[in-house]
Structure 1
Amino acid sequence: MARAGNLAGRRMRKARAAGALTLVGALALAACSGGGGDTNADGEAAELECSSEAVADQPWKAAEPREFSLLWTDWADYPITDTWEFFDEIEKRTNVKLKLTNIPFSDATEKRSLLISAGDAPQIIPLVYTGEERQFAASGAVVPLSDYIDYMPNFKKYTEEWDLVDMVDDLRQEDGKYYMTPGLQEVSVPVFTLIIRKDVFDEVGAPEPDTWEDLQEGLALIKEKYPDSYPLADGFEAWSMINYAAHAFGTVGGWGFGDGAWWDEEKGEFVYAATTDGYKDMVTYFRGLHDAGLLDAESFTASNDGGGTVVEKVAAEKVFAFSGGSWTVQEFGTALEAAGVTDYELVQIAPPAGPAGNNVEPRNFWNGFMLTADAAKDENFCDLLHFTDWLYYNPEARELIQWGVEGKHFTKEGGKYTLNPEFSLKNLNMNPDAPVDLKKDLGYANDVFAGSTESRELKESYNVPAFVQYIDDVQTKREPREPFPPHPLDEAELEQSSLLGTPLKDTVDTATLEFILGQRPLSDWDAYVAQLEGQGLQSYMDLINGAYKRAAEGQD
């Protein structure tokens, strides 16, 4: 009954949201004149009056020069410079100058939290993934963007056109509002998955692994042919592979563990994922690989840097299947060629199916942004909303961010993008010998904004044909798991859940590796579960299920 009520509520919310979008229209004007984002007596956002208009899919430019502040994360490999053309082009098109506060990538999350908590953060906070906004929303440190989406016509259009309205609606916090708008993806595929040396799988007569059982069979054949190898590796301290494997075993884990809550359809409530049969099955599977000498244990305990990395083992033909993304294929291919291996075929495959079926992660968002509470007091707040809507969701801006200026940096014909010969994108192996790198020298394709919101056409424009095939394989052979019912916690519950959930997660992480790597017998499973129960597991799940019931009642 609880589930039925939740689904009915979701349908009602979808109908309301779709109706609102229809009333406004995908190309509606948000005609507006200065003034900050005040609220009325009911706590709702007052209507803004703005001096400029915003229309979906159209250029936008502030009527007068504006300056907005933004938190910029510095990547060590791509240090920002005063000569980056990217910011000049943004200002030229929008009349908006960005004032940057810089933080290093190495501790960006911590620095961001400190700045926001102290009230010293700039107005625009990029690189926010769903869930990261909760603590700031609960404390009132960021703007409830759901109050202002009428001033974000591009966001409204593409959430409807790409069937993302329900997903956005699930971002609502305990007060019924959402406080970040995410990066939107027309097609969503797992970023990390399994990459194999297909030529070696073919050589030993192994099938391309459609299932985890297929993979085990192939790894065993490779081990016979290459006895000094440990053919399967992760390279991200286990958490990447466990993340994309978990869905096929009917659980969540690794990078995708989140709060650890797993929706039990039969019980109509959340249970702790790391205590489920699915989690035990997954751990047992990887333990079997380890005991058979098929798993590179070092890659499950060390990050992919320093000596003895996965890339070095792939180049030395000691590893033949490993975790990665589209860029990894290029990186590892370069390493193989440098080692003198030229007859190879690296293939990025859809995450293998498993006992729970062809499931992969739910359709997902990419990073988006928040606006700090002080931003709503800016007399040009309406322009700030229009600007961020253009920057994150307008196709003109998304193309500019990835490719630069058409005619100057690239040409486009029939949907195919070609860099002009004097420009390179070395990280994508495009025109690698050209003198000017679009990313490093000019600031386009930067890691703060690129990839956040993408149509399928844009995503395919800079990826190799093999990745386009990967998209097709995931879309046709795999089924995204349904998202779990929302269970937003209030401020006090968030604090309590952190106090309980953090040590629980630490125990899970430690025990998971101990079980997989043979440091703890699988017969200890019940003792491990009892250990979690002794750490307050029931109180933790009571918090989550209480929040779920409260949210479900509010939807009915």
Structure 2
Amino acid sequence: MYLLSRRRSAVAAAAALALTLGLTACGDDNEPGKDLSENMTAAMENYKAGDQFKATEPVKFSILLLNNANYPVKADWLFWKELEKRTNVTFEQVAVPGSDYNQKRSVLISAGDAPLIIPKTYHPDENAFVSSGAILPVSDYIDFMPNYKDKVEKWNLGPEINTLRQSDGKYYLLPGVHEKAWQDYSLVVRTDILTELGLQEPKTWDEVYSMLKAMKAKYPNQYPMTDRYSQPKPTGNLWNILGSSYGAPGGWGFNHATWDASAGKYFYTAASDKWKEWVTFLNKLVAEKLMDPEAFTQTDDQARSKMATGKSFVITGNAQAVVNDYRPDAAKTPKMTYKKIPLPIGPAGEVNPASRLENGVMISSKAKENKNFVAMLQLIDWLFYSDAGQEFAKWGVEGTTFVKGASGKPELAPDVNAVGLHPNAPKHLQKDFGFYNGVFAYGGKPELVQAFFSPEEQEYQKVLNARQQAPWVVPPPAPFSDEEREQATLWETTLRDYVDQQTLRFILGQRPLSEWDAYVNELKAKNMDQYMELQQKAYERYKKEHG
């Protein structure tokens, strides 16, 4: 690996790199990109997959950071110092609280003030910024990202990547990528109550109902189940995982249109019989006082308090919630024991509803005018997609935050804690060092993704990995044109608000399920059918134009 000398001028650097890379960027479709001969300052020559990226002179890039309340961003994190040491790159940080992240990101992008690197973006959030030209078609530049290309090819991620494409055939979000689908969220159950009642872990949603009935019989004055993740929208997680078990995800996983492979077309998710079935299930839980009616709108703190004080026994969560929230909350009551059970099975069968794509990175269109643009692409490629970069972002520095065990695999240093693995350690990987920080440490091989998993979480993943990926997770592309997107966005906003509102009313019994047909007609009055016609048209057009 040969690094350009710092003493060489930008012109000489551009000339040298031009010999290797050509003067234009060619994306995954071999379409010519912008001439980058003026944007190669500090970039590495002959950079390829597996190389350690290091800018040939010090550079600084602006970046938007989600500031997680559990481990707030600190200027003295070892992450920043070691990143500069390894890559010659520093960040001009724009840190935003997680609760305001999406709104602040939109404001910055719309005003033209966004940092160059915009991570922690979930598809399809990028759609809102495509038509304005505020973000780059990143697929035009992936030839400068050999680690990314290597993983997409080796892991056969093409079908998933295709779901990101816009009507021009390009995509505008560099996704985090997993070799294997990772499904994290499920039900968390008080196992001491199961033992007390002589119950087995429920494997299906019908068995969940039976479990809640038994809990209610023993504790008639309590709601067996409550929930969190209910703001700003109702129970984003529960509606997602339950809806996925029926083939019509709601909440966090909601898409207006869901692909029906057997029919070869899309259907409107929230008007389907599948949606009605899980809404009916939740309505039954509420009606029989098995589900806390406040669960759908309360704060996380309220939900956690109900679990910690024994008012409820079942809630949703992920592995970190069990370790960082529920178990510490119950520390004063040692008899309380929690377990995240494998995602219950519903009518959709034994499916894993997770995608192999993660939140990803948008790049401001201003970046292509930056003289260090190619160096920035190489940095993103190394940090987010190389094995070494992913290990660094997650584990940190050998000898300080981790050591190599007898097997040669990384292990947390004895004095460092993460997700409860060393609960009495004086230092914390995320809070004190900034690694595994929720912005950079996403995706990768299963052994990296599951590195901090407890034995119980590894067993959970083993069960989920044995299931087939849900067929609707990787639908065929059906991107809207700019004009269609503008119209569709207006319809989507109105439809989504109404879907959330009426779904909650059905569940709480404020509206009888006998009015379901009327509800569907109300969606039609809000342009549901026109929306679906637009969706199907987009699918057929893309299939014709791009295959």
TM-score (norm 1): 0.87
- What letter is aligned with 1:257? F
User: Which of 236, 245, 249 matches 2:246?
Assistant: 249
Quick one: structure 1 residues 137 and 159, their matched pair in 2 at CA, closer, same or farther if it must change by over 3 Å? same
User: CA–CA distance in 2 between the matches of 1:437 and 1:30?
Assistant: 45
- What letter is aligned with 2:371? E
Quick one: structure 1 residues 51 and 359, their matched pair in 2 at CA, closer, same or farther if it must change by over 3 Å? closer
- What letter is aligned with 2:169? G
Q: Please, which moves more after superposition, 173-182 or 231-240?
A: 231-240
Shift of 1:498: 1.3
User: CA–CA distance in 2 between the matches of 1:169 and 1:197?
Assistant: 41
Match of 2:357 in 1: 365
Quick one: structure 1 residues 175 and 505, their matched pair in 2 at CA, closer, same or farther if it must change by over 3 Å? same
1:383-532 equivalence runs, <5 A: 383-413=375-405, 414=407, 416-425=409-418, 428-450=419-441, 452-477=442-467, 479-482=469-472, 483-532=474-523
User: Which of 312, 322, 333 matches 2:327?
Assistant: 333
Contact 2:47 2:53 in 1 (8 A): yes
Shift of 1:324: 0.2
Contact 2:182 2:354 in 1 (8 A): no
1:117-266 equivalence runs, <5 A: 117-237=110-230, 238-258=235-255, 260-266=256-262
Quick one: structure 1 residues 42 and 86, their matched pair in 2 at CA, closer, same or farther if it must change by over 3 Å? closer
1:286-325 equivalence runs, <5 A: 286-305=282-301, 309-325=302-318
- What letter is aligned with 1:404? G
Contact 2:164 2:171 in 1 (8 A): yes
Deviations 1:224-277 (A, max 9, x none): 12222211222122221110111221212111113x102234543222111111
Quick one: structure 1 residues 36 and 551, their matched pair in 2 at CA, closer, same or farther if it must change by over 3 Å? closer
User: Which of 89, 105, 109 matches 1:112?
Assistant: 105
Shift of 1:327: 1.1
Match of 1:7 in 2: none
Please say if 1:95 is aligned against 2:85: no
Quick one: structure 1 residues 433 and 42, their matched pair in 2 at CA, closer, same or farther if it must change by over 3 Å? closer
User: Which of 350, 359, 369 matches 1:377?
Assistant: 369
User: CA–CA distance in 2 between the matches of 1:366 and 1:431?
Assistant: 27
Contact 2:480 2:538 in 1 (8 A): yes
Match of 1:20 in 2: none
- What letter is aligned with 1:537? M
Quick one: structure 1 residues 272 and 103, their matched pair in 2 at CA, closer, same or farther if it must change by over 3 Å? same
- What letter is aligned with 1:471? Q
Deviations 1:83-139 (A, max 9, x none): 222111111101112222233323111221122222221211111112111122222
SS at match of 1:55: coil
User: CA–CA distance in 2 between the matches of 1:31 and 1:315?
Assistant: 64
**Over aligned residues, Cα RMSD in angstroms?**
2.5
Quick one: structure 1 residues 194 and 127, their matched pair in 2 at CA, closer, same or farther if it must change by over 3 Å? same
Contact 2:162 2:476 in 1 (8 A): no
Q: Please, which moves more after superposition, 72-81 or 457-466?
A: 72-81
Shift of 1:471: 0.6
Shift of 1:45: 4.3
Contact 2:24 2:34 in 1 (8 A): no
SS at match of 1:440: helix
User: CA–CA distance in 1 between the matches of 2:130 and 2:196?
Assistant: 54
Match of 2:271 in 1: 275
Q: How many residues end up aligned between the 2 structures?
A: 518
Question: Where in structure 2 are there 5+ consecutive unaligned residues?
Answer: 1-16
State the identity %: 38
Shift of 1:332: 1.0
Quick one: structure 1 residues 38 and 204, their matched pair in 2 at CA, closer, same or farther if it must change by over 3 Å? closer
Deviations 1:181-238 (A, max 9, x none): 1111122232321112233224323332111111111111121122222112221222
Contact 2:166 2:479 in 1 (8 A): yes
User: CA–CA distance in 1 between the matches of 2:268 and 2:429?
Assistant: 46
Deviations 1:46-96 (A, max 9, x none): 476754232222312122222222122223443323322211111110111
Quick one: structure 1 residues 415 and 530, their matched pair in 2 at CA, closer, same or farther if it must change by over 3 Å? farther
User: CA–CA distance in 1 between the matches of 2:142 and 2:197?
Assistant: 56
Quick one: structure 1 residues 316 and 415, their matched pair in 2 at CA, closer, same or farther if it must change by over 3 Å? farther
User: CA–CA distance in 1 between the matches of 2:354 and 2:69?
Assistant: 32
User: CA–CA distance in 2 between the matches of 1:232 and 1:143?
Assistant: 45
User: CA–CA distance in 1 between the matches of 2:216 and 2:426?
Assistant: 44
Contact 2:183 2:354 in 1 (8 A): no
TM-score (norm 2): 0.89
User: CA–CA distance in 2 between the matches of 1:479 and 1:453?
Assistant: 17
Contact 1:130 1:365 in 2 (8 A): no
- What letter is aligned with 1:186? E
SS at match of 1:408: coil
Match of 2:4 in 1: none
User: CA–CA distance in 1 between the matches of 2:153 and 2:227?
Assistant: 37
